[in-house]
Amino acid sequence: MGDYIVLAISCIFVNNILLAQFLGNCPFLGTSKKMETATGMAMAVVFVLVLAGIITWLTNAFILKPFNLEYLRTISFILVIASLVQFVEMFLKKSMPALYAGLGIFLPLITTNCAVMGACLINIKEDYTFIETVISSFSYAVGFGLALILFAGVRERILLARVPKPLQDTSIGLITAGIIAMAFFAFKGMV
């Protein structure tokens, strides 16, 4: 149990997927301009990443490994994730329009989000067990969401500040993200 908690903390804070592993930066900058969007995106990532973690782990353990097809990991994972996301999107749109409005619209963005793909690959690389995979996927996603929401909070204010023209928008966003990454150094070595 303790190990799992350590794993979770490690994935959320110490090895934060955005700020320490540099995965998922495009949507990080794109969807952090407003708090609402950031929250929606964070939720969607949690949802998809857990699903994707599970399904890729299964693919890897039951198909790729036994048949020695590990070199097909990249292509099979991306296909599986893309199909899964699209399926979920269509499903939500039809059956739960309310949920779709809050969360589903972010799903396409996740298809090509390297955070999802990267987290799945890390899970395999680190040889996690199934339960560890679920926990790490969830925690990575939470870490992503946390960073995104905190960033959005700061960014909402920066958007209103008198940032010099050439620095506006993406440029200042990146610098802020850098400072946030630095602030996350606080967690270094905590696991």
CB-wise, 73 or 138, nearer to another protein?
Answer: 73
- To another protein, the closest distance from the beta carbon of 40 in angstroms equals 7
- To another protein, the closest distance from the beta carbon of 1 in angstroms equals 19
C-alpha radius of gyration, the chain, whole number: 17
Residue 106's contacts (CB-CB under 8 Å, 6 or more residues apart) are 31, 40, 41, 43, 44, 45
Dihedral sign of CA atoms 68, 74, 78, 81 in order: positive
- To another protein, the closest distance from the beta carbon of 148 in angstroms equals 11
CB-wise, 131 or 188, nearer to another protein?
Answer: 188
CB-wise, 134 or 159, nearer to another protein?
Answer: 159
- To another protein, the closest distance from the beta carbon of 168 in angstroms equals 8
- To another protein, the closest distance from the beta carbon of 54 in angstroms equals 17
3-state DSSP assignment of residue 139:
helix
CB-wise, 1 or 189, nearer to another protein?
Answer: 189
Count of positions (residues) in the chain? 191
CB-wise, 13 or 138, nearer to another protein?
Answer: 13
Tell me the helices (H) and strands (E) count for the chain, helix number first: 9, 0
3-state DSSP assignment of residue 19:
coil
Looking up tokens 């900058």 gives 29
115 by Cβ neighbours in 10 Å (0-12 / 13-18 / 19+) ranks as buried
CB-wise, 44 or 135, nearer to another protein?
Answer: 44
The tokens of 138 are what? Answer: 């969830």
- To another protein, the closest distance from the beta carbon of 107 in angstroms equals 7
Rounded (10°) angle between helices 130-160 and 114-125: 150
